Amino acid sequence: MDAYNKINVELGPNRYMIHVGQNLFQLLPHLVRTGPANSQIAIISVPPVSTLYLEKVRSEFDNSWQVYQLDIPDGEGSKSTIVLQEIYTWLIQNRLERNCTILSLGGGVVGDLAGYAAATYLRGVNLIHIPTSLLAQVDSSIGGKVGINHRLGKNLIGSFYQPRAVVTDITVIGTLAQEEFLCGVGEVIKYAVLNKNLFEYLEKNLNRLLIRDQSTLLQVIERCIKIKARIVGADEKEQGIRANLNLGHTFGHALEKYYKFKILKHGQAVLLGLYCTLHISQVLKQIKPDMVERIKNLLAQIPVTLPAGGKNFSPAKIVPLMQTDKKIRDGKINLILIQEIGRVIKYPLSDLKILLQSLESLKSL
């Protein structure tokens, strides 16, 4: 096995390690055994990922293990009560016990859904994430947010449930479709806006990241994980500083819902949300012009536009979707606005005209 690094997520009795490096699947049996686990392994994945990596994961478990595998439909639409019930039925029919271990093998959708199943089946079973998308490796597999969508909004039903470990093998990024890879880069840029050192690193090395240079990829993934691990360790349940990680997401979630979770991916929606956030930060004079230009220069290297070039795009229909967001307080939308690279603030916004203007600005991308 190649050398790898361990990053601690310090959460008291819920602490765990994120293992980051190359060719790490062989760690899995050891990681399962370190907890109060039996020999039952339930792998939940999606067809594109399971085709590539299921046998590699299964082969790490010898005949002393009972390994079960379930594929769920790919895409955001799977984060539903229907698919969740199918997972419960499968777990029950195979008599998975409380000390079993669920392995989520895939991107953010699999992690959220399998994680919520792990949190609620038999009131909680062991969970290990094996994130296979860049977005999941730098963000969604870290911090314990699990859940499903509701027809009225994204991630409105869920919980905080920490995994026993996360195995982040960067070699899988080599097989990621370009569109999915760029979605992950969108989330990386969010972290860069939150962290001056990462931003400056990307200004010099984004071109190497975009060609998936392994050393650059490892550097970026580790930096993002450390940023999130530090924030989650300080604020597990999002009562304070963890809200900063929602940068661009209030817009992004509403845009995903507007397009029915089909033709706009999460990372693309976050990128569009960053443009909206930057626009509002300017209008409200929260950010200096030179900072705006630096952020725009970085964003401009990642191609993103509204589906169908913005044809029939209606900001007036998106604002009500934002008003069902989890972060609404006293009727105001709590946006995370940018003051400078490395510094953001929570801003309760009630002026819907500014929201409309920022969404309209997306048509010019």
Location of structure tokens 């691990």 = 229
Question: Of 352 and 2, which is predicted with more confidence?
Answer: 352
Determine whether 94 is an active site residue: no
pLDDT range class, residue 1, cuts 50, 70, 90: low
Determine whether 249 is an active site residue: yes
In this predicted structure, what is the pLDDT of residue 309? 84
User: Which residue in 154, 253, 265, 279 is the catalytic one?
Assistant: 253
Question: Of 263, 246, 248, whose CA–CA distance to 77 is shortest?
Answer: 263
pLDDT at 353 over 70: yes
Render 75-112 in DSSP notation, one character per residue: SGGGSSHHHHHHHHHHHHHTT--TT-EEEEEESHHHHH
**Tens of pLDDT along 262-284?**
899 999 999 999 999 999 999 99
The answer for residues whose C-beta is within 8 angstroms of residue 263's C-beta and 6 or more apart is 307
Determine whether 123 is an active site residue: yes
Domains contained in the chain, CATH given: 4-175 (3.40.50.1970), 178-364 (1.20.1090.10)
User: Which residue in 187, 222, 236, 256 is the catalytic one?
Assistant: 187
In this predicted structure, what is the pLDDT of residue 323? 83
pLDDT at 326 over 80: no
In this predicted structure, what is the pLDDT of residue 329? 66
Determine whether 164 is an active site residue: no
Average pLDDT of the residues of the chain: 94
When pLDDT is averaged across residues 203-212 and rounded to a whole number, the result is: 97
User: Which residue in 190, 223, 249, 265 is the catalytic one?
Assistant: 249
**Tens of pLDDT along 123-171?**
999 999 999 999 999 999 999 999 999 988 889 999 999 999 999 999 9
> Token pair for residue 303?
């191609």
User: Which residue in 238, 256, 257, 265 is the catalytic one?
Assistant: 238
pLDDT range class, residue 114, cuts 50, 70, 90: very high
**Tens of pLDDT along 77-103?**
999 999 999 999 999 999 999 999 999
* Cα–Cα distances in angstroms (integers) from residue 9 to residues 79, 231, 286, in the given order: 26, 9, 32
When pLDDT is averaged across residues 244-265 and rounded to a whole number, the result is: 93
User: Which residue in 242, 257, 265, 279 is the catalytic one?
Assistant: 242
pLDDT at 8 over 70: yes
Determine whether 145 is an active site residue: yes
Render 253-305 in DSSP notation, one character per residue: HHHHHHTTTTSS-HHHHHHHHHHHHHHHHHHTT-S-HHHHHHHHHHHTTS---
Alpha carbon distance, N-terminus to C-terminus of the chain: 45
Of 78-82, 160-164, 300-304, 331-335, least confident by mean pLDDT is: 331-335
Determine whether 33 is an active site residue: no
Determine whether 228 is an active site residue: yes
CA torsion sign for 300, 301, 304, 309 is positive
In this predicted structure, what is the pLDDT of residue 308? 87
Burial class (CB in 10 A: 0-12, 13-18, 19+), 48: middle
When pLDDT is averaged across residues 240-262 and rounded to a whole number, the result is: 93
In this predicted structure, what is the pLDDT of residue 3? 74
User: Which residue in 126, 149, 244, 246 is the catalytic one?
Assistant: 246
User: Which residue in 19, 79, 129, 266 is the catalytic one?
Assistant: 266
pLDDT range class, residue 327, cuts 50, 70, 90: low
Determine whether 238 is an active site residue: yes
Interior angle at CA 119, CA 114 and CA 123, nearest 5: 135
**Tens of pLDDT along 215-249?**
999 999 999 999 999 999 999 998 899 999 999 99
Question: Of 110, 109, 133, whose CA–CA distance to 42 is shortest?
Answer: 110
**Tens of pLDDT along 311-324?**
889 999 999 888 87
Determine whether 327 is an active site residue: no
In this predicted structure, what is the pLDDT of residue 115? 98
Cβ atoms of 103 and 41 within 8 Å: the answer is: yes
User: Which residue in 154, 164, 190, 228 is the catalytic one?
Assistant: 228
Determine whether 279 is an active site residue: no
**Tens of pLDDT along 9-48?**
999 999 999 999 999 999 999 999 998 999 999 999 999 9
pLDDT at 183 over 70: yes
